[in-house]
């Protein structure tokens, strides 16, 4: 399966992508994660991207398109992949088509804006490996410690309220038009986010036409 997940910041794209990735045994490619890793490592890409990401702005198309082009050529993408956070603009979507990539479905994950604020304000991320938690909905076993690697859990810099406002504005202006873009190609399916992660997964699988899944 070659799947794109669209949705506002904090809608739960990364959370659902991780579950789908395990179910279908295909990688999740998150441009946000790739960029944050580059920032943690202090690479040239990271240093360039940091000035955009910290202000809630999009990194230039040319930079992200190059990242994706390289990543989709890796061996683990042969049987499919999940794109989380790419494309985010019409030129990025056009670039994907020009790469000769045929997408099977585009999932739009819809969550009311007041929930988004609640989710983002409670999100914590591991400073070492990037694993994501939520203080209420997905707490770590030990307070402030990553279950995966024991690293310290911190709030993402771009999760500050003023920056979130910017990210939401950028989403509506530049990314939301992709819903019509893919609807016109007959690829768009919609799932509505629920209070619990596993209930959202049910909606996601229903939208994708997947029936045989144990949600517990």
Residue 38 beta carbon to ligand AP5: minimum distance, rounded to whole angstroms: 11
Q: Which one is catalytic: 2, 119, 123, 124?
A: 123
Q: Does 130 bind ligand AP5 (CB under 6 A)?
A: no
- Residue 167 annotated as catalytic: yes
Q: Which of positions 87-126 make contact with ligand AP5 (CB under 6 A)?
A: 88, 92, 119, 122-123
Question: Are residues 193 and 200 in contact, defined by beta-carbon separation less than 8 angstroms?
Answer: yes
Closest residue (Cβ) to ligand AP5?
A: 32
Q: How far is the CB of 123 from ligand AP5 (least distance, A)?
A: 3
Task: Find the Cα–Cα–Cα–Cα dihedral 53, 113, 123, 52, rounded to 10°.
Answer: 0
Structure tokens at 25: 């045994």
| Placement of tokens 């939401």 in the chain | 168
Is residue 140 within the footprint of ligand AP5 (CB under 6 A)? no
Interface map 153-192 toward ligand AP5 (x if CB under 6 A): -----x--------x-------------------------
- Whole-number Å distance between alpha carbons of 195 and 99: 37
CA distance 79 to 69: 16
Taking CA atoms, 61 is separated from 3, 88, 89, 172, in Å, by 20, 9, 8, 17
Instruction: Pick the binder of ligand AP5 from 3, 4, 11, 26 (CB under 6 A).
Output: 11
Burial class (CB in 10 A: 0-12, 13-18, 19+), 175: buried
Residues belonging to the active site? 13, 88, 123, 156, 167
Residues in the site for ligand AP5, rule: CB under 6 A?
A: 7, 9-15, 30-32, 35, 52-53, 56-59, 64, 85-86, 88, 92, 119, 122-123, 132, 134, 137-138, 158, 167, 193-197, 200
């Amino acid at each position: 399966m070659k799947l794109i997940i669209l949705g506002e910041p904090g809608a739960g794209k990364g959370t659902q992508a991780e579950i789908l990735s395990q179910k279908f045994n295909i990688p999740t490619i998150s441009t946000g994660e790739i960029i944050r890793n580059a920032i943690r490592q202090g690479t040239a890409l990271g240093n360039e991207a940091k000035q955009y990401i910290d202000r809630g702005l999009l990194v230039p198309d040319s930079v992200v398109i190059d990242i994706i082009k390289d990543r989709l050529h890796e061996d683990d993408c042969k049987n499919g992949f999940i794109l989380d956070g790419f494309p985010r603009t019409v030129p990025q979507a056009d670039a994907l088509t020009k790469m000769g990539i045929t997408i099977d479905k585009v999932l739009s994950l819809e969550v009311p804006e007041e929930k988004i604020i609640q989710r983002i304000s409670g999100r914590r991320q591991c400073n070492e490996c990037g694993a994501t938690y939520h203080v209420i909905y997905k707490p770590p076993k030990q307070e402030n410690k990553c279950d995966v690697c024991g690293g310290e859990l911190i709030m993402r810099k771009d999760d500050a309220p003023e920056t979130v406002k910017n990210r939401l504005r950028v989403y509506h202006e530049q990314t939301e038009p992709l819903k019509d873009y893919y609807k016109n190609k007959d690829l768009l399916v919609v799932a509505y986010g629920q209070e619990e992660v596993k209930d959202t997964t049910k909606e996601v699988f229903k939208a994708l036409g997947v029936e045989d899944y144990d949600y517990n």
